[in-house]
Amino acid sequence: MFDGKFRQSVDARTAPVGQALVRAGFSADVLTASGLVFACATAWAIGTGHHHLAILLLILTGAHDLLDGPVAKASKTASTRGSFFDSVIDRLSDGVLLGGVAYFLIAQHRGELALLPFAIMTTTFMISYERSKAESLGLAAKGGLMERAERMIVLGVTLIAPVLFVPVLWALLVLTGATAAGRFRRVWIAAGQIQTPSLPSAEAEVPGEPTVVATRRRHVHERFRGRGFSRSLRP
């Protein structure tokens, strides 16, 4: 939802901040890596029950995630490697934060509820995986109720008061599950509208084709057929 409706306006406001950080000597990779450090500190604060401190640390964690992109653009260092690094660190930060939630629930002698953040983490990773897999197939899979910015905000709400902690976690699970299901539906429909190209027979030989190329083509054919790509492969 954030990416779809507010991204341009937020980018316009964060661009000057990114330029200022570049002038101060910061790089996008440094901000991304330090964001993980703040995520670990946030997880510690959540796990040990220092929830008001955790709110502040969570804001700082989100600020790092928000500003690494503008810094990369301002310094003209945006790259495929940087995008990969950012995505990996985001997933690791998500896992660390929910690990802190699980530790807190176990420490409060409510061990069975540790399955709740585990379920949230599973649906969260499904949301990210659906997008990356869809984009690798040339399909769009952005949007939904609970993208990363929204999840961070809702997690902050759980820390406001003890009475909100578990109920808001349940709400977060429902919303992330709905987001994952919605993305799956959109990609499923979009993939079904793509005409599947006919794959050459694995046994058919092309006249003059080198043996190595023919062998590789057979391997690709078997891979697509074995993994069900015959129904979803783009032309």
pLDDT on residue 194:
77
Say how far apart CA 202 and CA 225 lie, in whole Å.
Answer: 10
- The position carrying tokens 């992330």 is 176
In a structure prediction context, what are the per-residue pLDDT tens digits for the chain, which is 235 residues long?
A: 555 556 677 777 888 888 888 888 888 889 999 999 999 999 999 999 999 999 999 999 999 888 888 888 888 888 888 889 998 999 999 999 999 999 999 998 888 898 999 999 999 999 999 998 998 888 888 777 888 889 999 999 999 999 999 999 999 999 999 999 999 999 999 888 876 555 455 445 455 545 544 555 554 455 444 444 444 334 4
| Closest among 201, 207, 208 to 222, alpha carbons compared | 201
Say how far apart CA 5 and CA 143 lie, in whole Å.
Answer: 9
pLDDT on residue 232:
39
- The position carrying tokens 């260092």 is 77
pLDDT on residue 5:
59
pLDDT on residue 198:
53
Say how far apart CA 191 and CA 147 lie, in whole Å.
Answer: 22
Give the CA distances from residue 21 to residues 7, 18, 122, 199, in Å, rounded to whole numbers and listed in that order: 20, 5, 35, 51
* Structural contact between residues 152 and 58, judged by C-beta atoms closer than 8 angstroms: yes
Say how far apart CA 180 and CA 130 lie, in whole Å.
Answer: 8
Q: Which residues are catalytic?
A: 90
pLDDT on residue 6:
64
Helix 51-74 to helix 28-47 angle, to the nearest 10 degrees? Answer: 170
Which uninterrupted H or E stretch holds 208? Answer: none
Q: Which domains does the chain have, with CATH numbers?
A: 2-192 (1.20.120.1760), 196-235 (no CATH)
* Structural contact between residues 1 and 153, judged by C-beta atoms closer than 8 angstroms: no
Say how far apart CA 4 and CA 146 lie, in whole Å.
Answer: 12
> How is 113-168 classified by DSSP, letter by letter?
GGHHHHHHHHHHHHHHHHHHHHHHTT------S--HHHHHHHHHHHTT-HHHHHHH
**Helix, strand, or coil (residue 6):** coil
